[in-house]
Every structure is written in structure tokens, then in C-alpha cells.
Amino acid sequence: MRFENVQSDVTVVGGGLSGVSAAVAAARLGKKVALIQNRPVLGGNSSSEMRVWVVGATGHGVNRYARETGVLGEMFVENQYTNPEGNPYYWDLIVLEKVRHEPNIQLFLNTDVHEVEAEGDELNRHIKSVTGWMMGSERKIRFESPVFLDCTGDGLIGFLAGAKYQIGREAKHEFNEAWAPDVSDNITLGSTLLFYTKDAGRPVKFVPPSFTKDITQTPIPIKRVLNSGDSGCHYWWIEWGGAEDIDTLHDNERIRDELWSVIYGIWDYIKNSGKFEAETMTLEWVGSMPGKREYRRFKGDYVLNQNDLERQTQFEDNVTYGGWSIDLHPPEGMYAADYTSRHYHSDGIYQIPYRSLYSFNVNNLLFAGRNISATHIAFGSSRVMGTCASVGQAAGTAAALCVENKATRGRFMRSI
């Protein structure tokens, strides 16, 4: 095993679209950035490993003139030019090239950060370093910098540093949100695996594995739309793990097994029930890492909530915009018999304040992505990747300015 030390201005942990945008933004402001991603591919849920398509402020076409520009906008344009067919592997290349193009970024793929060195009392913590293990290389690497960004989705870095956070749904009285339950609980959105199909051009059979679920014993064939040629995000509803007795993080393996049993059950139903024209269809790809929708949300100086989205609150420290609907799913996920998802569309785009992008109690920690300081209801909208990426660009810019000004997280002070 090799031990190494890396010194940077900004350390970004997590190479999803929020981490990539944050790293590029900080690097373009002249800061040395370490971008650490625990998987071999960048892009997080948008990568070919997960294949979730990127949406953002445009919403479901409701805000049709709204669209992310900045780092994500550059990647969108590149994607339109090089990848009009939407090949997931070509998208991986676009994200990788965006990072490789920045000489100030040192990229560490396959590096899983799981140690954090932090000090200070509960309300004033300070991160000194984070340490990761690079798989396949037997390198243990310690990253030091004045400012850290947690773009891991699940929020492991902030958790290990002692940052305050919330999991689950807030009670109505906390933020006076119309959609919040009367009593707070642990309910989250669940996780999902997707699959791709293709036409083999000749009849092909499907022999289901032993763990295949008989979906005719579930509400799926009645409540959901099944088509033999559909792939990817058409099946966003193959979701499970959000109920109170399951933890989307610690029960990740159990959730994957349940999702696999249903994917093969759906495919068995499509191929072998005789109800579909699927003789020549085959499975081209099946996901193996559950795409997680929700876990920790850190506490910043401000908690974005449903009222801000509905009323389109104007923030003095506005740094970016969201516009996707508040999009929440039932805790039973794919087994829900009543509704599949609930949407609330604001009257246009809404603002996201800088105070939601830094920890109120860890003085050099910023965050971007699905773990920002928002209630469960507001997260229902801010979690989409277009918004995560623009939040990432804002947080990366802020991190660079903090280093420049020798500030820690650059706490926002209201002007008087």
C-alpha cells in the first residue's frame, strides 16, 4: 500500500454533476482542485452506470424558456453536437472531457473517501483533511485544503465531520408547509434500478433467474404502463426502500435485490406472458447499483422550503434557480396501489439562496446536489440534476472566493 498526501485549494468529494460543476467552477477561478469520485466513471446518476436523464428548471416544459447555462449548459451543447442519439457512454465522455480540460483539476477516480479529520466543538467544527482509498491501485490518499465540498449525494463527508443534518420528512409546524405531514418521520424517496432493451432482430428467449418475482401478485401490471420497447427512465417507478422501516443507505444491498427481482419479473411478464409483441426483444443492460434519490440533507443558515418554491421568494443571496415540480413519490414505491407520484408546479422558476449551500456548524464545509439545506418537500424539486449542477457551480465559485479571501465558508451577512 502506498500513502500519499495531496494539497489543494479546494477538495470536492463526489463526481456527480454537482461535484463536476463545482470543481470546474473553482478551477476556472484559478484554484487548485482535487476532485474525488469513488467510481470509475463521472456523472453520478447521469452516468452510463445509472442512466438517469438530466432535467432541470425547464420542468415538464412548464418553464419552457428556462434552462441551465454555465458548466452544464456547455455539456448540453456538446452533447447535442456529439451525441444526438443520447448514447449513455458518449455522455460519460463529455463529462470526463469537461474535467480533463481543466489543468487546475487533479482527478481521482475509483477513490472512496471514508475518513475525515475534523476538530472543534459541536457548533464550530473545522475539517483538516479527508482520506480515500483508491481501488485497484492500493493507494491511500489524504487530501488537505482550506475548503471542502461534499457532493457525495448521501453526505458521508459532512456526517463524518459532524455537520448537522436531517433525514426524512419534517413536520408541518416546522416550516408551515402545506404538504408536510403532521408528525415528522423517516420516510424518504426510494431507490431505483433501470434497464435497457433492444431488438435482437430474430426471436430470442428469456429464461428468468430463480429470484424473479411474479409481478402478477403485485399491483404493478394494473397500476403501471408496461411496453416491450421502453427503456431507462420510462421505468423510473421501479422504486423501493422509502418506507419508514427501510433505510436507503444501510439497506442498499437488500433494496438492490428487491429491485432486481422486480426488473426480471417485469421482463418475464413482457417476454413470456403472451400479452406483448416481444419475441425479438432482449435485455441489453440492467443496472446493478441502485440509484439513490434521498438520504441526508445538511443544515445551512437557511432551509429552503415549500413556501419559497410556491411564493418564489426573492433572496438577497440568490445564487441559482430551480424549476422542476415538487415531485414526491409514495413510500411503498413500485408496490403503491393508490398514486405513483405527486407534482406541484410553481408559477415559474424559484431562487436558491447561498445560505442553503454551506453548513451552519462546520466552518469550511460547502455542499451541492441532493444534500443541500432544504426540507423534504423542497428537495422534491431541487434534487434534479440540472439544478444540482447549477447549485454545484455556485458552491464551487463560492469555495474559490473563500480561498481567495481567506474566509472559511464565507457566511452570508445580510446587508443593512
Ligand X SMILES: Cc1cc2nc3c(=O)[nH]c(=O)nc-3n(C[C@H](O)[C@H](O)[C@H](O)COP(=O)(O)OP(=O)(O)OC[C@H]3O[C@@H](n4cnc5c(N)ncnc54)[C@H](O)[C@@H]3O)c2cc1C
Residues that bind ligand X (CB under 6 A): 13-19, 36-39, 44-45, 52-55, 112-114, 151-154, 156, 192, 233, 236, 291-293, 369-370, 383-386, 388
Tell me how far apart the alpha carbons of residues 60 and 125 are, in angstroms, rounded to a whole number.
41
Q: Is the dihedral of CA 85, 89, 91, 94 positive or negative?
A: negative
Answer yes or no: are the C-beta atoms of 392 and 17 closer than 8 Å: yes
Q: Compute the least distance from the CB of residue 413 to ligand X, in Å.
A: 27
Tell me how far apart the alpha carbons of residues 92 and 136 are, in angstroms, rounded to a whole number.
21
In a 13 Å sphere around the CA of 380, the CA atoms on its Cβ side amount to 31
Tell me how far apart the alpha carbons of residues 323 and 382 are, in angstroms, rounded to a whole number.
8
Strand partners, 368: none
Q: Compute the least distance from the CB of residue 204 to ligand X, in Å.
A: 27
Q: Compute the least distance from the CB of residue 352 to ligand X, in Å.
A: 14
Q: Show the cell assigned to 299.
A: 443544515
Tell me how far apart the alpha carbons of residues 72 and 309 are, in angstroms, rounded to a whole number.
22
Q: Compute the least distance from the CB of residue 207 to ligand X, in Å.
A: 27
Indicate the length of the chain as a whole number: 416
Tell me how far apart the alpha carbons of residues 202 and 326 are, in angstroms, rounded to a whole number.
43
Q: Compute the least distance from the CB of residue 33 to ligand X, in Å.
A: 14
Q: Compute the least distance from the CB of residue 200 to ligand X, in Å.
A: 26
DSSP code for 170: P
Could you please report the per-residue DSSP string of 299-326? --SS-B-HHHHHHTPPPTTEEEEE-SPE
Q: Show the cell assigned to 402.
A: 473563500
Tell me how far apart the alpha carbons of residues 122 and 147 are, in angstroms, rounded to a whole number.
18
Tell me how far apart the alpha carbons of residues 248 and 243 are, in angstroms, rounded to a whole number.
9
Tell me how far apart the alpha carbons of residues 74 and 296 are, in angstroms, rounded to a whole number.
29
* Termini Cα distance of the chain: 55
Contacts of 81 (CB under 8 A, 6+ apart): none
Q: Compute the least distance from the CB of residue 127 to ligand X, in Å.
A: 14
State which residue, 18 or 375, has the beta carbon closest to ligand X.
18
Q: Compute the least distance from the CB of residue 205 to ligand X, in Å.
A: 29
State which residue, 271 or 383, has the beta carbon closest to ligand X.
383
Q: Compute the least distance from the CB of residue 324 to ligand X, in Å.
A: 7
State which residue, 23 or 156, has the beta carbon closest to ligand X.
156
State which residue, 83 or 272, has the beta carbon closest to ligand X.
83
State which residue, 112 or 251, has the beta carbon closest to ligand X.
112
